[in-house]
Chain A
Amino acid sequence: MQRPADVRAEPSRRQVLGWGLACAATSLLKGTWRAGAQQDVAGQIELAGPRLPGVNRHPAMFWEPRPEQRVRCTLCPRECEVADVERGYCGVRENQGGRYQTLVYGTLCSANVDPIEKKPLFHYLPGTNAFSIATAGCNIECKFCQNWQISQFRPEQVESTLVTPERLVAICQSRSAPTIAYTYSEPVVFYEYMHDVAALARQRGIGSVMISNGYIQSAPLRQLCRHLTAVKIDFKAFTEKFYREMCAAELKPVLATLEILKEIGIWFELVILIVPTLNDSPQEVQDMSRWVVAHLGPDVPMHFTRFHPTYRVTNLPPTPVQTLERCRQIALDAGVHYVYAGNVTMHPGENTYCHSCRTELIRRVGFQVRNNRLREGRCPQCGTLIPGVWSQEQALAFKPRDAATDAQK
């Protein structure tokens, strides 16, 4: 099992020292610091079972037969047309004799209990843990991918353990994790497994959050959201150029995904990894923020996070903290209510402030919730309802708007 980076890279020595000193000082001075329950159980999970190359064949969803035993995958906007014995761009879906198969049904290469803040989801059950899983594969290729050792490899090249949906949900129940997070690589490419696990988990009182690049077609997204309870989208940039040159993808389908998420009413947050010189121009951040407010509303949180050199982008420095602060201010000025600075431990931009009276509501240190002053989802100072999902009951009560409409009919 690998311990992926999630969206946050390793902190520098200076950051770690600073964090450690601050924690020690806080506990000495106030006597209130203690590791939360999430820290007691968080960490890598060793799943029982033989370590295997991560291939487990299962019929794929969302594809169409084509002449001469070819298939067209309709799961993601790429719409790969795949000949017999070949695979799609993701490397984990294969045509075998004119039938499309997923190769990664239940082949987990990563399993960890993470704070939900690590995803990051800041307005979804703060201070709780998410049982976080991944298989190999991704349907885009970000040149700055922090988990490329699993996302950019084929399943045969990654050590995995086979875990059925039933077993996974049982493990979650035994660990009292309220949420399963499909994360690290790209969950869209292990759609079938995520779909089945999320449906079963929901029946057993466990929520599901997808941490995704949003590169998915409308039909599979809508079907999946019937079982999910929240989504986080990595919004890579606001130009086609960046998506094309840095991610081998397109911006438009991601915008479409965001609008669908808004339409069906599921809780979602946005993360924008700011890469120096490539997507950090004030104009681009302003354009993006204005689009978010106009199309998604002001209540969708935006997290501007810090880039660290990795994978194929090793020639750029880490994002300066001032750049993140500038991005945050631009988004706030554009009217976004909740804007965060990520990958900068102990920065005030990690905290949640009431958008109405600016009272500090949730204080965070890294992935830890230090103080949560929300009262039933409201600001204790002015009573404003803070957008988000604040209880498991609220999470499990979610129904997509189109599904609710269907049920009424």
Chain B
Amino acid sequence: MYYYPTRRRFLIGCGAAAAGAALPVTRLLAGTDPPAKARVVIARDDALQRGEPSEHGQLLAKLLDAAVQKLTDTPDPVAAWRRLFSPRQRVGIKVNALGRATQPVVVDAIVAGLRQAGVPAEHIIIWDRFDTELVRAGFKLNKTGDGVRCRGTDADKIGSGYQSEVEKSGEVGTCFSRILTDEVDTLISVPVLKDHNLAGVSLGMKNFYGAIHNPNKYHGNNCDPYIADVVAHRYIGPRWRLTVVDGTRAQYHGGPGLRPAHTWLFGGLIVGTDFVAVDAVGAHLLDEQRRSEGMKPVAEDGRPARHIATAGTRGLGVAELDRIERIEV
């Protein structure tokens, strides 16, 4: 992650700095447009609150298509998916199989969208930390067969699933999953809309703690700034194309473990390309739900989701709600 300057880079940088210094500040500001609002789509349907999520595959695919169309301002779903993905990409779908887990039917809807964009099935891999957790969450493993693959980082030879050398990113030093480093060039994060006992919320960004070998080392200070450090790394941030928060069965308290008493039938998905904005909206909705249940927001419960603001400050996305356009479909 650290970028050591060569002599040429250094000279170019000096030149650019000198040129910048020569320009009046007013001139620099004059041509600057106000930053565009980030867009986050909330796609809900009351029908999702009934029965099991697995019974609503078609509805979820329809909702997701509609969300992607809104995100891209594209009337046709195929064209919309093609705005985001191309057939040459190798797409890693990072699910959250720990505790309250991502529903496989939501991932099926994402895979259908990618296929519409022309991404070959063999270019798609659904993954998390462990095979065992994926199976427990209802995913069917496919390590070497045709079609979409599905496996955990720790699936093969013991210890070979992570890089052998440590990478630095801000305050984090870690070995990334080889799925991330060797097998994919594009990422989709599919977390669950859920509470987290330390980070406040466990959404799209926190989901990538499942891509590093030592997440246990980075839960101090409400996981801040470590979550932002992890997602800022070149293996994640620049490759992250879409977040789909699974809210078919959300959880407003007691996460990340499964707490049926705190299940929240949100009945929908939160979708966006700005991963910070998606998390900001998700955290806001979760706090609203907690209030409606007579509970304090997570920040007042001693676990502020400050990693979202940190990611915003780092320029990874938009964290301020008033700079986020929320669209409901």
Binding site for B on A (CB under 8 A): 51-53, 68-70, 81, 83-91, 141, 143, 148, 152-154, 156-159, 248, 311-312
Contacts and interface: CB of A to CB of B under 8 A. Distances in A.
Interface string B65-92: 0000000000000000000000000000
A-side interface mostly: loop
B216 interface: yes
A153 B214 contact: yes
Q: Which 8 A-B residue pairs are closest in the complex by CB-CB distance?
A: A84-B257, A91-B216, A83-B197, A85-B257, A159-B158, A312-B173, A85-B99, A87-B216
A157 B213 contact: yes
Contact of A156 (B154, B219, B258, B259): B154
B-side interface mostly: loop
Contacts of A52: 158
Interface in B215-258: 216-217, 219-220, 254-258
B256 A83 contact: yes
A153 B213 contact: yes
B323 interface: no
Contact of B216 (A81, A83, A143, A154): A154
B47 to A, nearest CB: 30
B154 A53 contact: yes
A248 B217 contact: yes
Contact of B257 (A51, A83, A90): A83
B159 A89 contact: no
Contacts of B158: 51-53, 156-159
Contact of B99 (A81, A84, A153): A84
Given A86-B197, A158-B159, A311 B166 contact: yes
A206 to B, nearest CB: 30
Interface in B24-77: none
B115 to A, nearest CB: 32
21 contacts: A51-B158, A69-B254, A70-B197, A83-B198, A83-B254, A85-B256, A86-B257, A91-B216, A143-B173, A152-B213, A153-B159, A153-B162, A153-B213, A154-B214, A156-B158, A157-B154, A157-B161, A158-B158, A158-B159, A159-B159, A312-B173
A126 B173 CA distance: 38
Interface residues of B, number: 25
Contacts of A91: 214, 216-217
A85 B168 CA distance: 27
Contacts of B255: 83
Nearest to A82: B197
A134 to B, nearest CB: 15
Interface in B151-195: 154, 158-159, 161-162, 166, 168, 173
Nearest to B168: A312
Nearest to A136: B159
Given A53-B154, A154-B214, 4 more contacts: A68-B254, A83-B197, A83-B257, A156-B154
Contacts of A85: 98-99, 256-258
Contact of B166 (A89, A159, A312): A312
B149 to A, nearest CB: 20
Given A69-B257, A157-B213, A158-B159, A89 B219 contact: yes
Contacts of A248: 217, 220
B256 A156 contact: no
Contact of B213 (A53, A81, A154): A154
Contacts of A69: 254, 257
A51 B198 CA distance: 34
A127 to B, nearest CB: 35
B130 A156 contact: yes
A282 to B, nearest CB: 30
Contacts of A51: 158
Contacts of A153: 159, 162, 213-214
A84 B197 CA distance: 9
Nearest to B99: A85
Interface string B274-314: 00000000000000000000000000000000000000000
